[in-house]
A and B are shown apart, each in its own frame.
Chain A
Amino acid sequence: MIRFSPTETITNTFRTNELDPINHRKDHDGRFYSISQSVKKQLFSGGGLPKEYKELSETLNGLSIMVRKPAIELITYLNKTNFDAPVNRYVLYGKTGSGKSVSLAHILHYGSNAGMVLVHVPWVPNWVRFPKGCTPSVIHPNKYDHPIESVEWLRHFSTQNGPLMQKLELKTTETYAWSKREMTAVGSPLSELIDLGMNRAKHATDCVSALLCELKKAALSKRCRVLVVIDGFNSFFSPKSRVRREDKSIVLPTEFVLTDAFLSLTRNDWNNGAIVVSVDASAHPSELRESPLPRYQLGKQGFEHLDPFIPIEVPNYSEKEFHSQIDYYVERNWLQQPKARTERGRAELSFTSGNHPLSLMKLVAPY
């Protein structure tokens, strides 16, 4: 088939026609399920899929994500969560390129289908390592704003949660005074807050903080359920950033207003939600990449902030998943070499890639 149609009967063993992540269970392990173009545009247009993965999905004429054990584990937990208890925090960890971001994308789709408000940060190091212009904050002394990134993030938030926010009609619980004449009164819709942030870059960062605060309160008063998904969370505790003061001293990520906002949201002092976070060695500078484990990557500060959390490892492919991935590449005409499609070819690919997802993708790419 050329473009995989979800209603077609499945004859191959590496696909599943269970398109709703809420229903993904252990028997779906190692199978691909496809995500429609509209859902992809809604959820991932502001980021969330790794760049090469996204390009590959466009080449192969459709986004299909493999259902793997970490995501299935998370989905089981999220389905069984007692939302009256304080929020649970889940930390995905694993080697770089083992599939954490894609698992988070899967969970994002789950949250969207489950009617949860999505608070999604696609890749935190973008704010720390490549900020497009940090300005000192007016409201918070000694802190720094991200005007451009905040506007982008608000746009991303409104794209992801557009229809849901219209349905929920959440209102602000506080007055926000932006300047002498501008203010957002109590009881005004949250969409007004978001629009203000998108139009006024100067106040965008503070809008983000306000929005996150409001969502937390809304979740506490059972007006909505919030799913927080953050990729590269350990970057908030990075020892370096590319932002410098006038005296050339480095501004640490803990001195960003955005960091405070998201750290406040990832504290377990609220309920009716869930927090799924990933830690990756590539989110830290090269001196801090020795171990992929959460305690090392988060550091003392990060660990104390997130403790207690549920760590979920994202391992390399199992044998079943590996063969499923090769089947997918063969079926989509990506793995072209006839010799590589044989058993010997698969054995070679398994050995040279070490069943590591990113390495496999890179090995198969030219052939």
Chain B
Amino acid sequence: MPSKCLEMDTSVGFGVTYATDDTRSSLENPEPRTRARGIQLLSQVLLQCHSLLLEKEVVHLILFYENRLKDHHLVIPSVLQGLRALSLCVALPPGLAVSVLKAIFQEVHVQSLPQVDRHTVYSIITNFMRTREEELKGLGADFTFGFIQVMDGEKDPRNLLVAFRIVHDLISRDYSLGPFVEELFEVTSCYFPIDFTPPPNDPHGIQREDLILSLRAVLASTPRFAEFLLPLLIEKVDSEILSAKLDSLQTLNACCAVYGQKELKDFLPSLWASIRREVFQTASERVEAEGLAALNSLTACLSRSVLRADAEDLLDSFLSNILQDCRHHLCEPDMKLVWPSAKLLQAAAGASARACDHITSNVLPLLLEQFHKHTQSNQRRTILEMILGFLKLQQKWSYEDRDERPLSGFKDQLCSLVFMALTNPSTQLQLVGIRTLTVLGAQPDLLSPGDLELAVGHLYRLSFLEEDSLSCRVAALEASGILATLYPVAFSSHLVPKLAEELCIEESDLARGDGPTKCSRHLRCLQALSAISTHPSIVKETLPLLLQHLCHMNKGNTVAGTSEVIAVCQSLQQVAEKCQRDPESCWYFHQTAIPCLLALAVQASMPEKEHSVLKKVLLEDEVLAAMVSVIGTATTHLSPDLAAQSVAHIVPLFLDGNISFLPENSFPGRFQPFQDGSSGQRRLVALLMAFVCSLPRTVEIPQLNQLMRELLELSCCHSCPFSSTAAAKCFAGLLNKHPAGQQLDEFLQLAVDKVEAGLSSGPCRSQAFTLLLWVTKALVLRYHPLSSCLTDRLMGLLSDPELGPAAADGFSLLMSDCTDVLTRAGHAEVRIMFRQRFFTDNVPALVRGFHAAPQDVKPNYLKGLSHVLNKLPKPVLLPELPTLLSLLLEALSCPDSVVQLSTLSCLQPLLLEAPQVMSLHIDTLVTKFLNLSSSPSMAVRIAALQCMHALTRLPTPVLLPYKPQVIRALARPLDDKKRLVRKEAVSARGEWFLLGSPGS
């Protein structure tokens, strides 16, 4: 019957009166339970249809319900339900909300109701506060008082969250609190600090943190609570309970956002005493961190407050207190409380520019003096580190806001101290000195040109002349880079000339005997040049120097080693990287370096009877690879229109031998890499690849059709593997970026024809295979539909007697990231999930192929599979484990060390992440791993021992039977000839010893 009534009412829209009439008999029943049922029915109807009620009906119902509040206590829950429905009515006439609330406050003793009904009362209040704010405010402080009585004694966390929300709204929406501020504080603060642990399997999902945050929002919402709250917070910070300390400090921190000097004034000494004690006696790092954060907010609050003309500025006296309590610790010879004191001072100084100035001007002279008093380098380092901390804080405040610069008075002392640190023999002190110098340099207009000259001199010495410390050299180079962006003139006038001079020194000019050799001096010089190329104006000096050095090596009659040329290229590449941020420098670099490099390379490739030594060097694989990376880095960040200018020169150079844009272009012969040019010329296709494969996708490449055909032709030319591979990569790189359409299909058809023709027989099988591999990769990366077809072709080659092993290794190439072509940085189309997709599409076929293959080619399938698995993100791999595990275990017996290594590196994370599954195979695993730990390959031995270590993550009862055997077996690798193997053996054996032993 009730459900039927509900249905009718909501669907047909019958009047509520009808429902009331229908239930009248039960409403008038003398038995309270029956009345309660009647009212419950009516309330449920109202909850469904409150939006349809007319004003007249609402008035009628409200009067009825208010009256029912006086009824038997069994009836009350249903009455409250009805009132909640009515509180949602839009048609509620003015005045009734107040009347309902008054009736509830008067008639209902909320805290004796069950949790659900208390929640209903809070909902009624929340609803009215949302829609009838003005009316409720008309009640004045009575409303606040009424609510205080409602929530007084609330215990349920679900209700507390709502009640805290209501209190927060009372305060933030400016309801009248009247004389009840303290009562409101009491009724909420009695829960502080929150001590609540949600029951296990709590369906409501209320966390301790939720309650803490919502109570904190209430307590910290108004300065009017300050006089009650601050003593409470101090008391709780002083308590023994860690969570209470943390909560109090965090709440204090929150309060500082709304408090002012007036609220804090009387409590500052106690607050400071409590915070100081917590930081000095750090029991926990979290308490220390929260204490420091609270001190920072307190200081910020005092700094921010607007003062009345007659009031005293509390900030000064507060800071003076802090200084007084901390400064003597800074001066104590044993330096025990030095760090806590420094942290406190820095927390306060970090709050505002004023605080920072006040503290810095007091502390710096003291620390400077201490530095000179202490003579041990580790004490000096500690002091310098503190100074560094204070200097760093200065950077937080910009100079426009300040009248004076507190550091300017100490500048000379600071500089001399830093220079003293930089000349100290202790590396640690030098390192801090370098960091301090960087921070000093970052202060605008602090260092004079004289200081800078000295600083540059020190950095030169540290990055160039000092022999022993690598970390110092790296730090000095990094600092030079940072300071060079700020003071390009100082570096170009004091450092660049020195380095330039250094580059010209030949071996013969150096004194024999001690001192670094020419090679290592040049190397450092090159590193320094690239490190300081952080400002466009410096690049304009360093880049010509580097290029000139390269040309000079070409012309000189000394023997230029491969490694030296590569070092220059690496420096060039680093400069190019630094230029990428600035479009103008980027174009400058591109325009200057690329023609020069191409000219040198073209010159070197000219058929000539007497090659200079360097000419041959320039055509070596490693050197060309280094040049490829320079050209790539200098191209990727070009804007499309500038790139288009460049491509219009470079493509004709290679296709037509148009050398007009090269700086030195009087060559003895023609440059025709694609026609019948010498093999040296063909090698330079690698440089073309570096350029065209790094261009933005929108740049149109002139003569593309011809270029692609030439590349394809060269890729299957069998005379020189380097150039045919470069051509194949270049072709693939262009293919990957080419928009889908007829032209792409044509290129693909050409490629497939070429591959098939080459693979069928003849001398070019391996070239055709390389082409297939790169084209497949280009298509796999962009999810091209043809990629699956090509992958199948590749998989077919796994059983090819000649190309099988190469095909297996090809899977590694397909799955890994290249550095020169097909990179995201070079604007290639690389879909992020291509590895996962490749895995799902091809692994089943690989597994099938493995089972079907004849014994002698099985290892190829295993190897291919290992490569795919190895490159796959481990989380993707884990769910596939059960199907692949047997294969992997079989792969452990494969004699190929690549398969072994990749299988071990697959199994190692699985041991850590899926120990239960792996436990089933413990016997096989122990045996195989121990066997492999004496493999001839060091990498396999290391991986096997890492797996032995990972095995200890399996459940101990599974392992214990093997413990004596394993410990005996692992004694052997302890005496391995390689240290890296011994290291793994030591850690694995150590863990096995601990298994099942007490104390582990």
> A and B bound?
no
Residues of A within 8 A of B (CB): none
